[in-house]
Amino acid sequence: MRCRRCKKPAVVEVRRHNAAFCDSCFQAYVHAQVRKAVDGLGMFSCDERILVAVSGGKDSLALWDILISQGYRVDGLYLGLGVGEYSKRSQRACEAFASERRVNLRVYDTAIEEGYDVPRAAKGPRTPCSVCGLAKRHLFNRLALEGGYDVVATGHNLDDEAAVLLGNVLRWETGYLARQKPVLQSTHPGLARKVKPLYRVAERETAAYAVLRDIDYVVQECPLAVGNTQIELKHALDAIEETSPGTKHAFLFGFLERAAKAFEGEDAVELHACSRCDMPTGGALELCAYCRMRDSLTGSRGPSAEEERL
């Protein structure tokens, strides 16, 4: 097989585009997909400060690598969630990446800073993946705002987005469908802009990119996530993709281009400030879901707004 662009021997095949590329043209292809995402959707500009959330896996480190080489002002954030050896290796991978490239990485350890870790938290009513998701949503946002960043970038790829979309569609979570976008603008001073610059790049393409770029990433999946719904949904989509190539791409892009508008406004919620952390939260309760979870884990309630007034 020959590279579509330069006709040299190809090293990576991109079946859904019916194309193959040599090493350097493949890297150029991935960069072009990210540029199309960033510029096409106005994710951020060259003078804005970007916080990329890195896990030590292929996607987020590939994203960091791409944004650095495209000249963006980008720092990394690693959340230490205390998942034993897996977390330690992941942190080391992020630290090695940052020191080799002389870029800034912030490591934020929830056990030290917040008084809980995921394995302990998962002994409560929430699953490990639910605790982890809640912690990431809250902390990415809070740490970005505290650090003066304009935007949080995450490494979600096309396969991730398709699997999340499938989960939302299978339960017809119309509120989540309204929010499933590659760019979530800040609609409130307490909410950072969130972007997914890899949403046009398939999972095997981010893996190939990381390998070709010699990025030393952690291959292992989080051991607490084994068998979770998200992974099952990915397997289901993989099976369909096998017999109908291009399904994932058509599913995600068809949604974004034709169907997403049908759910516009379904996510409308009245936001108020959490009386503990001051971050915006919906629903009738005084505390946000994150503060409620952390309280139940650490036993420390801290003063509520009402208590402080007394």
Cβ closest to a copy of itself, residue 145 vs residue 169: 169
Number of H helices, E strands in the chain: 13, 10
Q: Counting contacts by CB under 8 A, is residue 199 touching a copy of itself?
A: no
Half-sphere exposure of 145 (CA within 13 A, CB side): 16
Cβ closest to a copy of itself, residue 172 vs residue 299: 172
Rg (CA), the chain: 20
Cβ closest to a copy of itself, residue 6 vs residue 170: 170
Six-digit token pair at 189?
Answer: 């001073």
Main-chain dihedrals φ then ψ at residue 157, nearest 5 degrees:
-100, 180
Which of positions 271-290 make contact with a copy of itself (CB under 8 A)?
A: none
Using CB under 8 A, count the residues that bind a copy of itself: 25
Q: Counting contacts by CB under 8 A, is residue 262 touching a copy of itself?
A: yes
Cβ closest to a copy of itself, residue 144 vs residue 237: 237
Cβ closest to a copy of itself, residue 1 vs residue 170: 170
> From residue 226 to residue 245, what is the string marking binding to a copy of itself with x (rule CB under 8 A)?
-x-x--xx-xxx-xx--xx-
d(Cα 166, Cα 160) in Å, to the nearest integer? 10
Between helices 247-254 and 158-170, what is the axis angle to 10°?
Answer: 70
Sequence-distant (≥ 6) Cβ neighbours of residue 226 within 8 angstroms? none
Q: Counting contacts by CB under 8 A, is residue 170 touching a copy of itself?
A: yes
> From residue 88 to residue 127, what is the string marking binding to a copy of itself with x (rule CB under 8 A)?
----------------------------------------
Q: Counting contacts by CB under 8 A, is residue 174 touching a copy of itself?
A: yes
Main-chain dihedrals φ then ψ at residue 183, nearest 5 degrees:
-130, 125
Write b or e for each residue in 83-113: b if 16 or more Cβ atoms lie within 10 A of its Cβ, otherwise e. Answer: beebbeebbebbebbbeeeebebeebebeee
Least distance to a copy of itself from the beta carbon of 221, Å?
A: 16
| Chain residues that interact with a copy of itself, rule: CB under 8 A | 169-172, 174, 227, 229, 232-233, 235-237, 239-240, 243-244, 247, 250-251, 254-255, 258-259, 262-263
